[in-house]
Structure 1
Amino acid sequence: MTPTTEPGVVDCGEATCIIGAGPGGLSAARALKAQGLPYEQFERHHDVGGLWDMDNPGSPIYESAHFISSRDLSGFMGFPMPKHFPDYPSHRQILSYVRSFADAYCLRGAIRLGTGVNQIRKDAAGHWVVELSDGSRRRYKAIVCATGCNWDPNLPTFKGEFAGELRHSVTYRSGDEFRGKRVLVVGAGNSGADIACDAATHADRAFISVRRGYHFIPKHIFGMPADEFGESGPHLPLWLARPVFTGLLRLITGDLTRLGLPKPDHRLFESHPLMNSQLLHHLQHGNIAVKPDISHLDGRAVVFKDGSREEVDLVLCATGYRWSCRYAAEYFEWKGGRPQLYLSMFSRDHRNLFGIGYLENNSSAYKLFDTQAFMIAAYLRAQRDRDASAARFDQLIQHDQPDLSGGIRFVDSPRHAVYIDAHSFKTYLRKLRARMGWNELSESFYDRVKVAPSAAALSPQAPVREVVSHG
């Protein structure tokens, strides 16, 4: 590498910079490596795994956290989760799996651990200058932002004053924190439902505050993981799938309003469902009670919008995360707190600025990460090879406006503004790959960059290596 004309900046030539070594960043690294493209990768933590490493500062993971998609449908392409994992692996098993993925594809050598990114900026030539946490600066052809969406907690403000403890769920780790307390969990997303179950088990008294009704999908249907059940048959058109699955859920769970839950204000599939069976169990047994939205706080009490009030010691807000990307925020167009990206990954305004994981969907994430990573790598390879498809794809980035909803009218909320139907997304990308003449993504595509993992490679404590490039 040779210095650029800009003093103090190391020119990395045609290399891509991947920021983050969680599942999305590792997927990007494998795709670039498989295409023979040079890259360097930076991770602020001391090991790979992203948010699944509970020791990673700011991780939202808690002791009872498990995957909400099933083992056999959730792994990276060509690298299934081990069969000895349960249907819904624990966070420790997922972390072990992600790290074994990095070792199986020899990805650690290109990662500089313990090095974060302070900021990026675009230079006059259209390349990207990255300022690292050690103060050094490096220049790249492309940037892949793969630092995820669950690091900036969204803590709401409430009217009134509270004499107890109020905090965000990012600070929560174990149900032992609830012992001897009256606990209110605010928010009924999948994490909120999990934590509410911990409160139901450990707290003196437990409540969950919900603003709206949700469709509950049990984790198992007829003994099968719910997503496997949904995938095992033909892909039904929406007009048929909705009444079939609505009727099936009604048969399995019954009328949930009898448990105090609000009736959903939307039809099935129009919002992210709750994948939880335990919360219904605890509601049925009186271990937790449902409360409406909060009106205000009053000393040791929480007053709800129906006029009821409860004395509580702890209000824990499982109210999600803001989709911030501080080191690159000025280069994204933000709308409703979400970056506006073509196919949820390509910047329309800045060439070779990409994101992986900036999407909401109704499927497991890792294969979608692989699909995104493959598209980015294929596009960069077309640029390198001066293939005409790169210019054609540039035009698509600027003007293509695909409908990836699958015919579903999602609820009007910031979260669902970038929500995609996974089947429609994968189908559209498959058509684009054929149109561009790019290699088809398959389970065997990555075989040539995989090595047999050794016993040492499967260890969660892997050695730190220096940055290298693949070309």
Structure 2
Amino acid sequence: MSERVAVIGAGPAGIAAARYLKGQGFAPVLFEAHDAPGGQWNRENPKSGVWPGMRTNTARMVTKLSDADYPAGTALFPRNGEVLAMLQTVAERFGLLDDARFGAEVTGLARGGAGWRLTWRDGQGEHAESFPRAVVATGRFNRPWAPEMPGLESFSGTLGVRHSFDYQGPEAWRGKRVVIAGGATSAVEIASDLAMAGAAGVHVAQRRQRYVIPKIVAGVPIEYLGLTLRAARAAETAPPDRLAADRDRFIKEIGGNPAAYGCPPADPDVEKAGVTGCPYYLDLVAEDRIAVHPWIARVEGRRVIFADGGHVEADGILMATGFRLSLPFLSDEIARTVRLSPTDMELAEFTLHPDLPGLAFLGLWPQFGPYMVALEQQARFVAYAWGGAIAMPDATKLRAALRPLSATGVPGGGHQAHVMALHFARLAGVAPPETLARRPVLDRSPVTGETFRVAGPNADPGAETRLRRDFDLFAPADASAGPAGLPRRDGSDAA
């Protein structure tokens, strides 16, 4: 009888984990609090922050698992329902839903029996069962967080104070004045949505100005400009100062100077300023359809007062201020072992702990860029190590690799999507060998799930063909790149 594995969460991470665990001879059992799979991408899920009209902000080839594709005619940036359908296709193709427990809210995970004792609650009551192994795949973005602000509780606008997690589209905000607190992706995308859909006034309050990059440049998705396999491989060996300088140049070149659009000046150091992505935001600021302010100093009734003394009378406040790690079901012992906090935890390779054999955590690190490709390779690392397809790192190696999720420990620094995906692929033994990696179709394509299906366990003969389909359409003619792997628009290799 196959060894059973409890997989907590049926979103992208849980589906990827179950798919590869099953391929290694395990019997994964998905536990999902909602009544259907998809996680964040199922907008009917109470723990989903997806709104009905939301599209992906990353291109389709990096926003999927490698066992499924989007139907012909799918836009470059798919609708959220199309992403959900892709995930469901994978789950159904591999029979992952046959033994799944839906409507099952996990209430506890602790050592028990010969492995891990899981408790959960469903419509029939409380249940408990022990499993030799368990995977925590509940996601990082389901516990909204907002900082305290003087007077916020006094806000009297008709739309009240809400978190961006609860945003359901622009309808309720048409003809209204809104203040959005935050400057990262959710803030700028919702601000753009509201400004283009009839809000009477859109005001963004931020602690610092980030650089804002588009989704596509001259017909080329940014994934083909900066998130390629070449860039990821080069990041492993580039000197840190050169890597930072190349990234700084790249971001400023494709995103421009935010101050030129009417935003406050950004820190000259991109690493300090931060980066976010949105194709409309800067143009809308330049058209005076979005007003940008410093952080909120206090709230007095409907009046929102900013740190520079300026103020607006608002109908609603949206807090696009991020999320905190939420793993309330972990036993006190597990939480202490991984040093769990509201913002961090400590694991080896972002995944395992030497003192918790048979327990893995997927998708909980803070990443810049799309998660799915890296999640899939992380799932393969766990499945192959547990199944014997690759050697399981011993406790000594795992202990030496322990570090907070906020610290990368990955060559190239940062938590950039393509670098993280290659890191997990190397751990899983599925990174393309040098002879393949240098082929233009791999070298110059974004790091996708197909990148890591051309060699190693679960190699797919059709993977390179699927890569070429998009490569022939999108790859820029100028393939030159600097030592950090980022493209140089002028074709030079100069600093």
Question: Structure 1 length as normaliser, TM-score?
Answer: 0.81
1:224 aligned onto 2:220: yes
Which residue among 5, 15, 22 is the counterpart of 1:26? 15
Describe the shift of the 1:420–1:112 C-alpha distance in structure 2 as closer, same or farther (beyond 3 A). same
Per-residue CA deviation, residues 368-409 of structure 1 (Å, 9 max, x unaligned), is 111111111122223xx9x9x44x52322222258634344x
Question: Structure 2 length as normaliser, TM-score?
Answer: 0.77
Return the offset for 1:61. 0.7
Instruction: Look up the match of 1:381.
Output: 387
| Contact residue 45 and residue 114 of structure 1 kept, 8 A | yes
Superposition map of 1:179-328 within 5 A: 179-201=174-196, 202-231=198-227, 234-235=230-231, 236=234, 237=238, 239-240=241-242, 242-244=244-246, 246-247=248-249, 249-265=251-267, 267-268=269-270, 273-328=275-330
Distance 1:62 1:401 in 2: 37
What SS does the corresponding residue of 1:207 show, helix, strand or coil?
strand
1:147 aligned onto 2:149: no
| Contact residue 405 and residue 421 of structure 1 kept, 8 A | no
Describe the shift of the 1:129–1:247 C-alpha distance in structure 2 as closer, same or farther (beyond 3 A). closer
Instruction: Look up the match of 2:118.
Output: 130
Per-residue CA deviation, residues 233-269 of structure 1 (Å, 9 max, x unaligned), is 8425465555455445545544312434233336335
Distance 1:407 1:443 in 2: 24
Whichever residue aligns with residue 128 of structure 2, its letter is R
1:114 aligned onto 2:103: yes
Whichever residue aligns with residue 62 of structure 1, its letter is W
Long gaps (5+) in structure 1? 2-12, 409-418, 451-471
Distance 2:53 2:287 in 1: 20
Instruction: Look up the match of 1:58.
Output: 47
| Contact residue 211 and residue 276 of structure 2 kept, 8 A | yes
| Contact residue 199 and residue 206 of structure 1 kept, 8 A | yes
Whichever residue aligns with residue 173 of structure 2, its letter is F
Per-residue CA deviation, residues 8-30 of structure 1 (Å, 9 max, x unaligned), is xxxxx942100111110000001
Per-residue CA deviation, residues 256-310 of structure 1 (Å, 9 max, x unaligned), is 1243423333633567521112111211111110011010011210111111111
Describe the shift of the 1:74–1:131 C-alpha distance in structure 2 as closer, same or farther (beyond 3 A). same
Describe the shift of the 1:377–1:315 C-alpha distance in structure 2 as closer, same or farther (beyond 3 A). same
Long gaps (5+) in structure 2? 431-450, 463-495
Instruction: Look up the match of 1:414.
Output: none
Distance 2:426 2:11 in 1: 28
Percent of residue pairs bearing the same amino acid type? 25
Describe the shift of the 1:250–1:122 C-alpha distance in structure 2 as closer, same or farther (beyond 3 A). closer
Between 176-185 and 222-231, report the one with greater CA deviation: 222-231
Return the offset for 1:311. 0.8
Which structure is richer in relative contact order (CA contacts within 8 A, separation 6 or more)?
1
| Contact residue 404 and residue 424 of structure 1 kept, 8 A | no
Instruction: Look up the match of 1:399.
Output: 400
Distance 1:153 1:252 in 2: 31
Per-residue CA deviation, residues 128-155 of structure 1 (Å, 9 max, x unaligned), is 1111113111101111111111211102
What SS does the corresponding residue of 1:117 show, helix, strand or coil?
strand
Instruction: Look up the match of 1:167.
Output: 162
Per-residue CA deviation, residues 193-238 of structure 1 (Å, 9 max, x unaligned), is 1111122122111101111121211111221111122245842546
| Contact residue 36 and residue 102 of structure 2 kept, 8 A | yes
Whichever residue aligns with residue 185 of structure 2, its letter is N
Which residue among 29, 35, 58 is the counterpart of 2:24? 35
| Contact residue 149 and residue 321 of structure 1 kept, 8 A | yes
| Contact residue 65 and residue 87 of structure 2 kept, 8 A | no
| Contact residue 378 and residue 428 of structure 2 kept, 8 A | no
What SS does the corresponding residue of 1:42 show, helix, strand or coil?
strand
Distance 1:250 1:395 in 2: 42
Per-residue CA deviation, residues 75-128 of structure 1 (Å, 9 max, x unaligned), is 2134343442212112111111111121222221131222221111212x5521
| Contact residue 406 and residue 421 of structure 1 kept, 8 A | no
Distance 1:271 1:341 in 2: 28
Return the offset for 1:433. 4.6
Describe the shift of the 1:41–1:230 C-alpha distance in structure 2 as closer, same or farther (beyond 3 A). same
| Contact residue 43 and residue 112 of structure 1 kept, 8 A | yes
Tell me the C-alpha RMSD between the 2 structures.
Answer: 2.8
Aligned residues: 418
